[in-house]
A and B are shown apart, each in its own frame.
Chain A
């Protein structure tokens, strides 16, 4: 059975809270806090949707998004950015790199669920 969603964020509290809420909606969820390591684990987990932070140690979300999209099996995977950065240039950049949507924290959980349901 494949995983519905992978959350990638360096903030553990945010990861756990978001995972619990998404699980309450019936999704299967895995969390990853290390962006560099996530490049190795994503092919193993093989999620249907990725939710990705931007400001993370080791590798920022823009570089990670580009690297994910360069993996053959993830060329078309829906990636939703969920970041505290509220700047329109960052949103434009993420969408140009292949993200489906750019949501900013704090985000209403209904809006996040609604975006996920477009892809699952």
Chain B
């Protein structure tokens, strides 16, 4: 029926080099092929290699590119996405705009002549833009839900319903502070429960797991999760398979190995079961 393939798994900035060879150094980009439909999740530097692979097929390309948010590591591959330069191809970008700036304006901004020699309007393919908020959609027969997640700016998580498989993709997300919930003195709420409800019973969860718990204590309000939170959410939500994602640029392959082992140990210490892997460039999951 199709597959999900990782073309970029790194957070924040590309990290090429011998120490990241196994997991990969490109920033966020996933490919989903479902029947004849091409879905691309995020357009980080991994998008360049995906574009080259698509060009190798020698076919006209119709792609929907779902962007979680507009930080560089999620859009920096667009200027290097060769299919976008080919007349006859159709690329639709989907994501959340800002109150004072359109989706197209945000994406074209990084291709301002000051920063890049070719402007978005000069790309040869048909480019479309579709603004999303937190809602349920069916676009091109693809049913999906979105959720605002806890990251600076308007950031979305996606839940795709692909035939018999549900895939949730939340690249960047930080736990909410739930240290106080709805008392007379302190007004708060369990903001993480909404995330658990969104993820509930999905087959595959791809989620931010950038930090260890110790690292997270030094990086609060940076918009990312310790793997411990990610594992706990997956356990509470009865997820089928968890994919640890958005590896920290300071983490070499051995550090990612250690996080993966620790995440599996956390599950082992619970009374539940959960299959966990770490996202790796080139990894393909059958759908």
Contacts of A87 in B (CB 8 A): 151-153, 221, 223
Q: Is A95 an interface residue (CB 8 A)?
A: no
Contacts of B96 in A (CB 8 A): 60
- Of A14-22, A26-34, A41-49, the segment with at least 4 beta carbons within 8 Å of chain B is A14-22
Given the interface pairs A58-B133, A84-B176, the reply to whether A65 lies near B99 with Cβ below 8 Å is: yes
CB-based contact A17/B177 at 8 Å? no
CB-based contact A11/B134 at 8 Å? no
Question: Complex formed: what's the CA distance from A29 to B94 in Å?
Answer: 38
CB-based contact B177/A109 at 8 Å? no
B217-276 at interface with A (beta carbon < 8 Å): 221, 223
- Which of A57, A60, A106, A109 lies at the interface centre, i.e. has the most chain B CB atoms within 10 A of its CB? A106
CB-based contact A105/B99 at 8 Å? no
Question: Complex formed: what's the CA distance from A112 to B186 in Å?
Answer: 10
Question: Complex formed: what's the CA distance from A88 to B151 in Å?
Answer: 11
| Nearest CB on A from B152, distance (A) | 4
Contacts of B152 in A (CB 8 A): 85, 87-90
- Which of B178, B181, B182, B221 lies at the interface centre, i.e. has the most chain A CB atoms within 10 A of its CB? B182
Contacts of A13 in B (CB 8 A): 182, 189
CB-based contact B186/A62 at 8 Å? no
Interface residues of chain A, those whose CB is within 8 Å of chain B, are: 11, 13-14, 17-18, 21, 54-60, 62-63, 65-66, 82, 84-90, 93, 96-97, 104-110, 112
Question: Complex formed: what's the CA distance from A63 to B185 in Å?
Answer: 30
From DSSP, what is the main secondary structure of chain B's interface residues? loop
Q: Is B110 an interface residue (CB 8 A)?
A: no
Contacts of B36 in A (CB 8 A): none
Question: Complex formed: what's the CA distance from A72 to B52 in Å?
Answer: 52
Contacts of B153 in A (CB 8 A): 87, 89-90, 93
| Nearest CB on A from B67, distance (A) | 16
| Nearest CB on B from A120, distance (A) | 18
Given the interface pairs A55-B134, A60-B134, A60-B154, the reply to whether A106 lies near B188 with Cβ below 8 Å is: yes
Residue of B nearest to A35 (CB): B133
Q: What would 21 A/B residue contacts be, using CB atoms closer than 8 Å?
A: A13-B189, A18-B187, A54-B148, A55-B148, A57-B135, A58-B135, A60-B96, A60-B99, A60-B134, A60-B148, A62-B98, A63-B99, A66-B99, A85-B152, A89-B152, A105-B177, A105-B191, A107-B187, A108-B187, A109-B185, A110-B185
CB-based contact A109/B154 at 8 Å? no
Contacts of A89 in B (CB 8 A): 152-153
Residue of A nearest to B222 (CB): A87
Given the interface pairs A60-B148, A62-B98, A89-B152, the reply to whether A109 lies near B186 with Cβ below 8 Å is: yes
Contacts of B188 in A (CB 8 A): 14, 84, 105-107
